[in-house]
Structure 1
Amino acid sequence: MNKFKTYFNWSSGKDSAIALFYLLQDARFSIEKLITTINSHYNRVSMHGLRTELLVAQFQAVKIPYSFVELPEMPDMARYEQIIGETVERLKMEGFTHSAFGDIFLEDLRNYREHQLARQGIKAVFPIWNRDTKELLQEFLDLGFKSIVVCANSKFFNEDFVGTVMDKDFVKRLPQGVDPCGENGEFHTFCFDGPIFNNPVSFDIGEKVYREYDNPNTGDNSNGPQDPYGVWYCDLKP
């Protein structure tokens, strides 16, 4: 049976890891490349703030070819879509027909991905779509995956939360209203070991840093300016 040549959109975190785990077991797909967006200004993984050196170590442990998508520090949507579109076009020329993601339940994001990819003739795949996030996290841990929190929204967490290794009691310690997998962007993780890894990724815990960002413009100015939101980061060092 001919398999669909597929690239996986790798975030470096737990959702990507377990989604890739399931996809590698699906006989319909041949996973031949991992793709990650990088903030070229800081040389770190977009959103997660992970050093590129650790990302490369992760790729080498998984042993799947990889490439980066370099984004400027603060790209607008038009520039972002241009860069992603050019990347997808190159992958299509390499024979890729499918693009996989670790999304779980964000319907708007899924629709956006499917629409953008369909314009270029690529099919989107979501291996862990609509899974119960509490059960999925438990399964992640039961399978032997290991992950550490690298950034978290200060609305829900203080600096003590970042740098925490996820364990069986992780969900019990989460504030009310926080998704167990952080699917609403409450926190992000770095996965450093598990059944898809040929070896654990070694790292040291560095400093913790707080940064504030402007809220995205929702187009509704009736309530006046939006307060900035804060993020705690834990720097991991190779």
Structure 2
Amino acid sequence: MPQEPSPAAFFIDLMSHSPENIICSWSGGKDSCFALMQAVRQGHRPVALLNILNENGRISRSHGLPPVILQQQAAALGLPIHLQPSTWADYEQHFTATLAGLREQYQATAAVFGDIDLQPHRDWEEKVCAAAGLRAMLPLWQLERKMLVYRMLEQGIICRIVSCNEQLGEDFLGRLLDDVLIADLEAAGVDVCGENGEFHTVVTDCPLFSTPVNLPAFRKVKHEQYWFLDWQEA
């Protein structure tokens, strides 16, 4: 395992701020979960989760998670979740408006995101937060990707791959994130954090959950250049 950085490096984005009521941009995957864990560890108070669904409200954008899984996660966290259907064309408008509504409803002052080092993502998050009257909080920002994945495992995140690109293929779907998978991702020439969109995960347990999430039955389907778990009983 790589040498660990100072634990203080995990909280650079938070240390200069007093505890705040925060909204979490919740994908259901490892990065948003770990970002929330770090924010809570620093004393911030999560008040709501926000997830953007596709236009028919059947699954979440990017990760392809049905509402029943997202709602299980929210219940395990003891938090309300707002599920907002949207087309890609209206994504920013709906995201900003929903953030503003949640800010007012829960007296929030910041929103937490799980992005790591893609500057255009951070720029967009800071833009929509500013428009909604919130501060963007990115506790994982500029951390080394591989070390970050190991820290997630060490701190108790349990997750599986729910979507991946053609380079990985359908055999990676459903696999548990562990040392073996990390090695296989590296062997396949894929970033082990999936920050470039190579794969997405679903968290089934973590220290913030009161109970593990039960995943419905699924099959594997391909949509354009991406493989997804299709949830049959959701």
Specify if TM > 0.5. yes
Deviation sequence 1:74-131 (CA, Å, 0-9, x none)? x32xx22221222122123222211110111111110121123223321100011111
Paired letter, 1:16? S
Which has the larger share of strand?
A: 1
Equivalent in the alignment of 2:35 = 19
Q: 2:161 touches 2:172 (CA, 8 Å); kept in 1?
A: yes
Equivalent in the alignment of 2:83 = 68
Deviation at 1:71, TM superposition (A): 0.9
The more displaced of 126-135 and 198-207 is 198-207
Which has the larger share of helix?
A: 2
Paired letter, 1:11? S
Paired letter, 2:29? G
Equivalent in the alignment of 1:179 = 191
Deviation sequence 1:160-187 (CA, Å, 0-9, x none)? 1111111122211014542111000000
Q: Number of paired residues?
A: 215
Q: Pick one of 218, 226, 229 that aligns with 1:231.
A: 226
User: Which protein shows a greater Rg?
Assistant: 1
Any stretches of 5+ residues in structure 1 without a counterpart?
A: 213-229
User: CA 1:115 to 1:15, structure 2 compared with 1: closer, same or farther past 3 Å?
Assistant: same
Q: 1:61 touches 1:198 (CA, 8 Å); kept in 2?
A: yes
Equivalent in the alignment of 1:159 = 170
Distance 1:33 1:47 in 2: 20
Q: Residues 119-130 of structure 1: matches in 2 within 5 Å?
A: 119-130=131-142
Task: Using structure 2 for the length normalisation, give the TM-score.
Answer: 0.86
Equivalent in the alignment of 1:208 = 220
Q: 2:97 touches 2:132 (CA, 8 Å); kept in 1?
A: no
Q: Pick one of 115, 133, 150 that aligns with 2:145.
A: 133
Deviation at 1:42, TM superposition (A): 5.2
Deviation sequence 1:21-71 (CA, Å, 0-9, x none)? 1111112x2211111111142511111111111111111111112211221
Q: 1:141 touches 1:168 (CA, 8 Å); kept in 2?
A: no
Paired letter, 1:87? T
- Alignment identity in percent? 32
Distance 2:57 2:133 in 1: 32
Q: Residues 24-43 of structure 1: matches in 2 within 5 Å?
A: 24-27=40-43, 29-41=44-56, 43=58
Equivalent in the alignment of 1:227 = none
- Other structure's SS at 2:46 match: strand
The more displaced of 118-127 and 169-178 is 169-178
Q: Residues 28-107 of structure 1: matches in 2 within 5 Å?
A: 29-41=44-56, 43-72=58-87, 75-76=88-89, 79-94=90-105, 95-107=107-119
Q: 1:36 touches 1:45 (CA, 8 Å); kept in 2?
A: yes
